[in-house]
Amino acid sequence: MAAPFPRWSDTALRVALVVIVLFVIALVAAPMIWMRTIFATGQTFEVDQPVQFDHRHHVGDDGIACQYCHTQVERSPRAGIPATEVCMGCHSQVWHTSPMLEPVRRAWMSGSPVPWRRVHKLPDFVFFNHSIHVGKGVPCTACHGRVDKMPLVQKVAPLTMGWCLDCHRAPEQHLVPLDRVADPAYVPKPGEGAELAKAYGTRHLTHCTTCHR
């Protein structure tokens, strides 16, 4: 009876075995790598907004402080999306005919709000509080990056739990003086963070109910 397999089948079998092993390894490694890519975290992707609001212009050129529009950031868990009246406060005077601002004017007239698109979104089981961060010297840029250089706001931080923990374990690296939290250009001096941490009584809060309640 003829041999069921040609000579090369041994080699083929060995190759096959190697491939199988590699495939299994990839199966485990791939998702772990994927989770760390910007495609999973959604970083650096510009989000189209109903109004081409340009932070670069408002913050950078005009030097308007963050709190001018995000009025509640120092008192509230949420930074807050400025009410339409805030926009109209200026734009009823300046650029009040600009077609770019048409949606805002329509919103102001109709009373139905501008449907802004969300860029930074934490899961519903995460309770982030803006006021305590800003109130203890964590600058806006620590999480939101150089908004003053963004034509359209994009997510710069991965906002993963690991990323949050990195800062919560060593907040010193990010702290700035309270009066500079809203200054995107401010660069803390070496060692300043540590002193501020002492001054503000910064704590290293890494227990779960800090964020999950």
Partner 1 sequence: MSDRDHDHHAETPEFPAGVDVAPDGIARRTFLQLVGASAALAASGCAQSTPPEMLPYHEQPEGLVEGVPLHYATTLSSVDGFGVGVVVTTREGRPLKVEGNPDHPDSLGATHAWEQAAIWSLYDPDRARGVARMQGPLRVPATWDAVTAALTAPRSDGGAGLRLVMRPTTSPLLAELLGRALRRHPSARVTFWSPLAPGHARAGARLAFGAPLQPRYDFGRADVIVALDGDFLTRGPGRIRHQAGFAARRRPPAMARLYVVEPSLTVTGGMADHRLARPSGQVPSIAAELVEALLSSSNGGAAARGANAEALAACARALRASAPPDPSAGNDPRRRAFVAAVARDLAAAGGRVILYADERQPPLVHALCHALHAHLGAVGETVTLHPSPLVEDTPAIAARALDIKSLAGELRGGAVDTLLVLGGNPAYDAPADVGFAEAMTHAKARVVLSPYSDETALASTLHVAEAHPFESWGDARAVDGTVSLQQPLLQPLDGGHSAVELLALLAGDAAPRPEALLRARHARGFAAALQRGLLDGTATPPTTAAIRWSALAATPPAPPPVTPPPAGLVPVEVTLAPDASVLDGTLANNAWLQELPRPFTKLTWDNAALIGPTTAGALGVSTEDLIAVTDAAGRTVEIPALVAPGQADGTITIALGYGRAVAPGIGERTARGVGRNAYPLLTTTGGFLVKHATARRVGARHPLARTQGHFSLEGRAVALSTTLSAYTARPVVAPHLRGPVPTLMPDVAARDLGGPRTNEWAMAIDLSTCVSCNACTIACQAENNTFVVGKEGVLKGREMHWLRIDTYYRAPVDTRDELERATDEPRPIHEPMLCQHCEKAPCEYVCPVNATVHSPDGLNEMVYNRCVGTRFCSNNCPYKVRRFNWFRWTEEVPVNAGRISLQQNPDVTVRERGVMEKCTYCVQRIRRAEIAARLANRPLADLEVRTACQQVCPSGAITFGSLTQKGSLVSRAHESPRNFSVLHELGTRPRTQYLARIENPTPALPMTSSDKGHGE
Partner 2 sequence: MIRDRGEALLVGTPSDAEISRELIGTVYRPRGRGFRLLLAVALLGTGVLFTCITITVTVGIGTWGNNIPVGWAFGIINFVWWIGIGHAGTFISAILYLFEQPWRTSINRFAEGMTLFAVMQAGLYPLLHLGRPWFAYWLIPYPSTMGTWPNFKSALPWDAAAIATYFTVSLLFWYFGLLPDFAACRDQAPPEARVRRVLYGLLALGWRGSAQHHRHYRLTYGLLAALATPLVLSVHSIVSTDFAITMVPGWHSTIFPPFFVAGAIFSGFAMVVTLAVPVRRVFGLQRVITKRHFDAMGKMILCTGWIVTYSYIVELFIAWYSGDEAEVYQFFIARPFSHGSWVWWGMMLCNVGVTQLFWSRRFRTNTVLVWFAALAINFGMWAERYVIIVLGLQRDYLPSSWGDYLPTWVDLGLFGGTMCFFLLLFILFLRYVPFIAAWEVKELAHELRHGHAPTGVI
Indicate which single residue of 6, 11, 32, 62 sits in contact with partner 2 (rule: CB under 8 A): 32
Q: How many CB atoms lie within 10 A of CB 107?
A: 19
Smallest gap from Cβ 112 to partner 1, in A, equals 8
Q: Which is nearer to partner 1, 136 or 174 (CB)?
A: 136
Kindly report the CA angle at 137 between 144 and 123, in degrees rounded to 5? 45
Name the 3-class secondary structure at 36: coil
The pair of three-digit structure tokens given for residue 12, joined into one six-digit string: 């083929």
Rounded CA-CA distance 188/133 in Å is: 16
Instruction: Residue 60: name its binding partner from partner 1, partner 2, none (Cβ under 5 to 8 Å by kind).
Output: none
The answer to whether 14 contacts partner 1 (rule: CB under 8 A) is no
Instruction: Residue 158: name its binding partner from partner 1, partner 2, none (Cβ under 5 to 8 Å by kind).
Output: partner 2
Indicate which single residue of 20, 24, 25, 83 sits in contact with partner 1 (rule: CB under 8 A): 83
Residue 153, class by beta-carbon neighbours within 10 Å (0-12 exposed, 13-18 middle, 19+ buried)?
buried
Q: Which is nearer to partner 2, 11 or 110 (CB)?
A: 11
Contact 115, 108 (CB under 8 A): no
Indicate which single residue of 43, 64, 82, 146 sits in contact with partner 1 (rule: CB under 8 A): 82
Q: Which is nearer to partner 2, 6 or 111 (CB)?
A: 6
